Structures are given as structure tokens and as C-alpha cells.
Structure 1
């Protein structure tokens, strides 16, 4: 029996225990045929000194959702996923609420993947545009 959407999201969120994702309260909240969405609360935990969302926290959100997307849409029996490059262009500041990162594939190759990640706020304003490259590496056979 295939996993339900709720099962996949629950497994992704359970995998975040005792990680940076848990520290930043990053949560996978939706996915479909070709996308994954995560959210992160904006509060003092992710502020830079002047009280706005830190770009590094935004990049961590983007890399988390993009890497999980590559995991979800790969055959993990044979490979594991690693991020190899991320870029982030920050367009707008945020001081409260949530930010949402939606990862979609620009390229879904057997070895490398390229994801477009759009980060928006509670009002659907574009906050950051990120690109993440991931690589699928073969698992060692026992």
C-alpha cells in the first residue's frame, strides 16, 4: 500500500528530530507530484541583530526543503542525497509570522538535481529566491 501524503510528511518531520531543522522549527507542511513546502516561524530565534529574518536561516530553510524534496522523489534504497551548492537572493525583510519555502525541480537527473526554491511570507510576498543543487550518491553494498 503506497504511503499517504500525511505519512510522508510525518516521516520527513520525524527525521528532523535533534537536527538544525528542529532547532529552527522547520516543518514540512505539504507536497504534491512535483513540489514540497516547508515553513519556519520568524521570531528572535532566527533574527539577525537588527530584528529581521537572518539570511542564513532562510538558506537553511531552503536547503532543508530542497534536500527533503530530492529524498522524497528518489529511490533511497540505492542512493543517498547530499546538497552540493546553494544560492540565495534575499528580496524583502520579515519580522514576524512564518516563511514558506516551496521547492520544485528544474532538473531531476539520475545523478544531479537542481531545485528552485521560492520563499514567501504569510501574505505570499516573495522574500527570497534560492537554487539548490543536490547529488545522488550510491549507497555502499554490505
Structure 2
């Protein structure tokens, strides 16, 4: 989706329905909640519940990576002309900084670099107390369709 001439509501509706009913983002109940077109940031939430726990009863690092990659990829694909290009993840570096047993985490993605052929984004995942749970950087290559 190319966001030019789209409202915030249209963009969020698109993101929350992108890919149909059966996607990993939907399985983990990731919900896009905000986009700031001026600052070029994207926000989403994910509930922390047993289906995203590892055996010790805390948020699985892989679930945090899925949230982060969903955010970085979505951010890139929103800011390119999807009729000509698409962004694909080529590198992800994720640091798990705090554990989380339940509640909601909120992820915010922003560009570190937005070039013509490569985007690098930073994704911060925080809890309800605004404590940093995870910090991820992600690289997307922008390739021709």
C-alpha cells in the first residue's frame, strides 16, 4: 500500500487486515494502533499471554522478534510505491532487555535511514509502565516487483 492520499484510518484498517485472516501477526494478535505520517512512525500492540510465552512463563524472544519484524516491514512498505517495489527484511538484530509475564506491549517503529534501495528501522517495544522490553534494528531491501 502506498500511503499517499490515504487517511490514518484507512492505513490502519489496511494494516490490520493485510494478508487475510491467517497470518502470524493475527495469530499473535498484533494490532496497529497509530501512524504518524509527519514523523514517519508506526505503532502497534501485542498482548502478552501464554501463547507467546516460552517455557518459563515469560514473553518469548521470538514473539518479540515477530512483533519487531512486523513493524519494520510494515513501516518500509507503507513509505514506498507498492505498485513498483516491495520491502523485504534482510537483517534483524534484537536485544531482549526485560522479561514480561502478562499485559500488553507496545511497539513503535521509526526510520534510522530511508534510502531508495534500503531502509533501516529501529523498533522499541515497551510495557505499560513505558519500560523498554526490547530494542530491535531491522534492515529492509527495497526491490523491484
**TM-score bucket (shorter structure):** over 0.9
Partner of 1:8: 11
Asked if 1:111 corresponds to 2:117, the answer is yes
Q: Name the CA distance, whole Å, in 1 between partners of 2:31 and 2:72.
A: 13
For residue 22 of structure 1, the aligned residue among 13, 22, 26 is 26
For residue 75 of structure 1, the aligned residue among 81, 85, 88 is 81
CA-to-aligned-CA distance 1:104-138 (integer Å, 9 cap, x gap): 00000100000011110111110010000001110
**Root mean square deviation of aligned Cα:** 1.1
Could you state the TM-score of these two structures normalised by the residue count of structure 2? 0.93
Please give the residue correspondences for 1:47-126 in structure 2 after superposition, counting only pairs within 5 Å.
Answer: 47-126=53-132
Range that drifts further, 29-38 or 56-65: 29-38
Question: What is the number of equivalent residue pairs in this alignment?
Answer: 139
- Displacement of 1:99 in angstroms is 0.8
Secondary structure (helix, strand or coil) at the match of 1:104 reads: strand
Secondary structure (helix, strand or coil) at the match of 2:65 reads: helix
CA-to-aligned-CA distance 1:49-100 (integer Å, 9 cap, x gap): 0100000000000000110000111111110111101011111011111111
Secondary structure (helix, strand or coil) at the match of 2:63 reads: helix
Unpaired stretches in structure 2, ≥5 consecutive residues: none
Could you state the TM-score of these two structures normalised by the residue count of structure 1? 0.95
**Following superposition, which runs of at least 4 residues in structure 1 exceed 3 angstroms of deviation?**
none
Secondary structure (helix, strand or coil) at the match of 2:44 reads: strand
- Displacement of 1:2 in angstroms is 2.1
